Amino acid sequence: MTARNKKRNNNKTQILLRYTIISLGLLLVSLAVIIKLFEATVVDAGAWNERARKELSKVSKIAPERGNILASNGNILACNLKVYDIMLDLRHNKIAKLRQIPWQSVDSLADSLDRYFPRRADLNAHPDTFAKYTWHKKLREELEKEPGKRRSNLRIAAKRSLDDFEQVRNFPFLRDFKGSGFRIPVYKNARDIRIYPYGKMAYRSIGRVNESFETGEFHGYSGLEKDLDSLLYGQPGLTKKVALTSGITNWTDKPPVRGYDIVTTIDIDIQDMLEQELLKVCQEARAEWGTAIIMEVETGEIKAISNIELLSDGSYGEALNRAVIAYEPGSVMKPISLMIAFEDGLVKTVNDMVDCSPFQRTSDPHGSGPKNMKQVIEQSSNTGISRVIFRGYASDPSKFHDRLASIGFFEPMRSGIADEERPRVRKLLPKDSRGNNITMTARHLDLARQAYGYNTMIPPIYTIAYYNAIANKGKMVRPHLVRSLRDEHGRDSVVKAGYIREHVCSEETAEKVKQCIREVVWGSHGTARLVQDDRVEIAGKTGTAYPVEGGVYNHAKRRYAFAGFFPYSEPRYTCMALVMGPSGTSANRTSGQIVKNIALKMYSRGMLGNSSNYAQERSATTPLLAASTSSSDSRLSKAIGASRARKISAASATEPGLVPDVRGYDAPSAIRILEKAGLNVRVRGSGRVASQSAAPGSRFRRGDKITLSLRI
């Protein structure tokens, strides 16, 4: 055999050996596959089937969209907003494959991030402090790491809009990767947040929500958000895994049902006025806190409710919803006691007399002579109202509690405000809870105190409800915050509040008590004479009480209350204000002024049935809803209505004590500027301000009147 043939045979042998080895390898692999397939389909079939069954039987919840809370005119008070957390993927393969990091582009990216999304909000911080948190430092720290150790979820900004996301994608360094396909260096995580476009307006009444760490669900923890959570939350949907030819996928078995929108009774304009007046009076009186509530007489709708409290930094902010917390009411209880006295026949007419000499350790600071019922309420006589109540309940003081119960005094109000307390009035039984005898003298003393508002605990919302019944001819409608429910299809279901009692007293009794209450403001010895104003006839009652601290009365502080209604002849609104302040002032000068100023502002805006109605001319107050806080949004908001802002700022900049020039203004803007300056405004005609009775720049005293003549 030649050498050439021999070499050819050796090559052939080697090739056949290789094929044999490869064939044996493939055979072994095939055998292993067959064995594994046999194990999976026969031996372990039960276990795999059970695992598949468990996977396919999993049912997950789909969170529903939470309903909105709306004002009476449809303005949004609380709603959901989809926002995005903007994330940066520094492990992205295109970044990892870079031979050299383009530090110049990275520095440009850091400059853009520091400008629009700084890692700390305070850009005016000390340079050393700011350098510690700059994006230059953070990006360099990450990009100098090995590609596998870099972060794939570096958060650039939280709770941002899609516009912000698109802005980031076009930043230097990132725009080069914009079209990289399935995965890009910058991405977004969507989530829903609850926002309140009007900020702290009616904060405690609207409420807030909390996110559960376990389920990720949002549920209310205060206010309407809590009380109506089951309606706002909606019904969760269900999703499960299903096997399709293309693989296992999620299948919506039951779609979620969106929560109801809650249409409240809140009037944005009245709410704004109430908050301004409550804040102003609390600041002037150096008050610890204040609460106020306005309701519509005929319907019982709560049009505004506000609570403010002195914070540790010396400013005022929303705190406890004290409108539903029980306090000793003081003398605002007297008209309710008088209503019972008229109904029970203890007194017949407003001119019936009663001896007001010292009685049950109580003396009358306004004199101890005989007084009629108007004078008893006008001068807030403790002895007078006590002697009247004793005519019917001295023999059995426990029946006074029963009489209060008969007019619904202890029934739940169900106003829609969370954490609502009920009145607490001790039933004056012959024995205490331990079975010890209580002397009639002690029971009589307690009865006298209950008659004029001590030894009792009543939330302001209950007090205002009974004053509203007096203004409403004895009909006691339920104070309520919810007007209707709106489903996901926009259909409204009106919520009927109904009556606590169809009548707590007769129409005749209501009229008698109403006449007595009027004297508090308009009588020559009334305790609220400073509430008088000839534009709006207000009727109401003052009340003062000391807070109990450490089991004793603190005489360095007082709670000043005023409850009343207006206009007197045809009451439209009932209002109550309660202010906790230092001793030395009065309900006449604090809570009474809140009610007075609100009534005058409503009159100026034509909201009391008077002819000067400027509802058509008012500019919209609906806020701009936006998730972004970027400077571009700020510039846009500044550009909108810039001329109007310049005009108002010019008038507002007038030297204090000088009459602002509001000629050419629309009526609402002119009224707002003049009232802020301290003037009482009257308006004539319609349209814009053509002239004003006080010359611009002239001096005035706070409370002076000014008349505006309007022309279309």
692-703: average pLDDT: 87
The answer on pLDDT for 613 being more than 60 is: no
Please report which confidence band the pLDDT of residue 245 belongs to, taking 50, 70 and 90 as the band edges: low
pLDDT at 395: 95
pLDDT digits (tens, 9 = 90+) for 562-580: 999 999 999 999 999 999 9
d(CA 683, CA 667): 8
pLDDT of 645 = 38
Q: Of 403 and 84, which is predicted with more confidence?
A: 403
With contact defined as beta carbons under 8 Å apart, do 563 and 594 qualify?
no
Mean pLDDT over 301-307 rounds to 93
Of the pLDDT bands very low, low, confident and very high (cuts 50, 70, 90), residue 500 is confident
Side-by-side strand order, sheet with 705-711: 680-684, 705-711, 688-692
611 CB-near residues (< 8 Å, 6+ apart): none
Question: Any idea how long the chain is?
Answer: 712
Neighbours of 97 (CB within 10 A): 8
Q: Which amino acid is at 461?
A: I
Please provide the average confidence, as pLDDT, over all residues in the chain.
83
Q: Look at the block and give the residue holding tokens 């400008």.
A: 115
Closest CA to 482 of 221, 198, 227: 227
Average pLDDT over residues 398-427: 92
Taking the CB of residue 688, how many other CB atoms lie within 10 A of it?
18
Query: What does the angle CA 58 – CA 61 – CA 66 come to, to the nearest 5 degrees?
Result: 175
Q: Is the pLDDT of residue 22 over 80?
A: yes
The helix or strand, by DSSP H or E, that contains position 572, with its residue range, turns out to be none
Q: What's the pLDDT at 246?
A: 64
Q: What is the mean pLDDT of residues 9-18?
A: 78
**Residue 291 neighbours by CB under 8 Å, 6+ apart:** 278, 305, 306, 307, 308, 321, 322, 323, 460, 577, 578
Q: Report the pLDDT value the prediction gives residue 2, as an integer from 0 to 100.
A: 67
* Inter-residue contact 495 to 485 (CB < 8 Å): yes
How much is the average pLDDT of 532-542?
95
Could you write out the three-class secondary structure of 501-545? ECCCCCHHHHHHHHHHHHHHHHCCCCCCHHHCCCCCCCEEEEEEE
By C-alpha distance, which of 616, 689, 680, 684 is closest to 647? 689
- Residues contacting residue 406 through CB under 8 Å, at least 6 positions apart: none
Tell me which amino acid residue 635 is.
R
Q: In 3-state terms, the chain is what percent helix, strand and coil (to 5)?
A: 40, 25, 40
In contact, 194 and 209? CB cutoff 8 Å: yes
What is the band of 702 on the pLDDT scale with cuts at 50, 70, 90? confident
For the purposes of burial, counting CB atoms within 10 Å of the CB of 329, is it exposed (0-12), middle (13-18) or buried (19 or more)? buried
In this prediction, residue 126 carries a pLDDT of 53
Cα angle 52, 55, 59; round to 5: 145
Residue 423 and residue 459 in contact, taking contact as beta carbons nearer than 8 Å: yes
> What letter does residue 358 receive in the DSSP assignment?
-
Q: What is the pLDDT of residue 632?
A: 34
Please identify which residue in the block is written with the tokens 């006839």: 537
The whole-angstrom separation of Cα 532 and Cα 520 is 10
Cis geometry, peptide bond prior to residue 567 (ω within 30 degrees of 0): yes
Span 447-491, pLDDT tens digits: 999 999 999 999 999 999 999 999 999 999 999 999 999 888 888
Higher pLDDT, 551 or 240: 551
pLDDT of residue 120: 63
Cα–Cα distance measured from residue 264 to residue 414, given in angstroms and rounded to the nearest whole number: 14
Average pLDDT over residues 214-235: 82
Which runs of consecutive H residues, i.e. helices, occur in 258-397? 268-285, 334-343, 373-378, 382-393
pLDDT band at residue 198 using 50, 70 and 90 as cut-offs = confident
* Cβ-based neighbours of 426, under 8 Å, separated by 6 or more: 401, 446, 450, 455, 456
pLDDT-derived band at 621 (thresholds 50, 70, 90) equals: very low
Least confidently predicted of 150-159, 374-383, 603-612: 603-612
Tell which residue, 573, 606, 579, 611, has the closest CA to residue 593: 579
Helices (H), 81-174: 93-96, 103-116, 127-132, 135-143, 162-169
Contacting residues for 423 by C-beta, under 8 A, at least 6 apart: 326, 404, 409, 410, 456, 457, 458, 459, 462
- 364-396, pLDDT tens digit by residue? 776 778 999 999 999 999 999 999 999 999 999
> What is the share, in percent, of the chain residues with pLDDT greater than 70?
87
The residue that leads in pLDDT, 605 or 56, is 605
Q: And the tokens for 364? A: 């009358």
pLDDT of residue 265: 93
